[in-house]
Amino acid sequence: MNETFAMDAGAIARHYGTPAGAIDIEVVTETGSTNADLLARAAGLRRPVLRVALHQTAGRGRAGRSWLSAPGTALTFSLAWHFAGPLRELAGLPLAVGVALADALGALDVPVQLKWPNDVLRDGAKLAGVLIETQAAPSGGVWAVIGVGLNLLMPDDIEQRIGRSVAAAPWLAQMDRNALIAQLLGALAANLGQFAQDGFAPFCARWNRLHAWQGVPVVIIDRGVTLHEGVAAGVDDWGRLLLDTAAGRIAIVAGDVSLREA
């Protein structure tokens, strides 16, 4: 295997510099879905777990969509993280994760923007997506399994199957994958710690500075039905999309909703 593509749990841990026992790191050659893997084990987890797959055969996106990738062309991983509070306190978590990824990618000279609620864009096309699934922890609180798919290269056949233009980051594809994963993990861990303590409010201004469609007319669609039309006006301290409509400003709660440019 190409040394750049190779990934190893020990190498990731060395790059990350994690204290012994602080986080478990796993690398598998292939699995259906790293999110599904960690959700199946959530009841027995005792500390955060990062699970990286060289290839996912049944990667999942938001709203039941599939995440398509070819071996060696993308980073696909999930991070299980425990939050002590109730589920309602996780409002805005997908957006905070987007900010963390944007910080890490920007530091690697890959500037990105964010699309509500869970997409990372490069030059207007999707570069990465976030899928967060939760499960109550037996000892209290919630385990959040944060799945991330990041396109490094985009083969023509995969883009054709996706059916739309998709971004890639060839510069990152040349990096040691262990170092790249470790840098992303470091940004995620730091920002998840802040989110656990303070919620989304400290991330709000940072997210709005990265908002790809600020001031753009959009429609909100759910299962093919248009629910609202207006001008995207950023997000509030709870991570809700603010939409300026003909009837005034409204707040849209993240859920099974798609954002489309009008």
Nearest to 118 by CA among 218, 243, 261, 257: 257
Q: Give pLDDT tens digits for 116-155.
A: 999 999 999 999 999 999 999 999 999 999 999 999 986 5
CATH placement of domain 217-261: 2.30.30.100
Identify the band that residue 171 occupies on the pLDDT scale cut at 50, 70 and 90: confident
pLDDT digits (tens, 9 = 90+) for 42-52: 999 999 999 99
3-class state of residue 198 by DSSP: helix
Q: Whose CA is closest to 114, among 1, 203, 198, 181?
A: 203
**Residue 187 confidence (pLDDT) above 80:** yes
Cα atoms in the 13 Å half-sphere on the side-chain side of 190: 13
Q: What fold, for 9-209?
A: BirA Bifunctional Protein; domain 2 (3.30.930)
The tokens for 68 are 């398509």
Determine contact, residues 190/205, Cβ cutoff 8 Å.
Answer: no
Band (pLDDT 50/70/90 cuts) for residue 63 is: very low
What end-to-end distance do the CA atoms of the chain give, in Å? 45
What is the value of pTM for the model shown?
0.89
Q: What is the location of CATH 2.30.30.100 in the chain?
A: 217-261
The pLDDT value recorded for residue 254 is 58
* CATH 3.30.930.10 location in the chain: 9-209
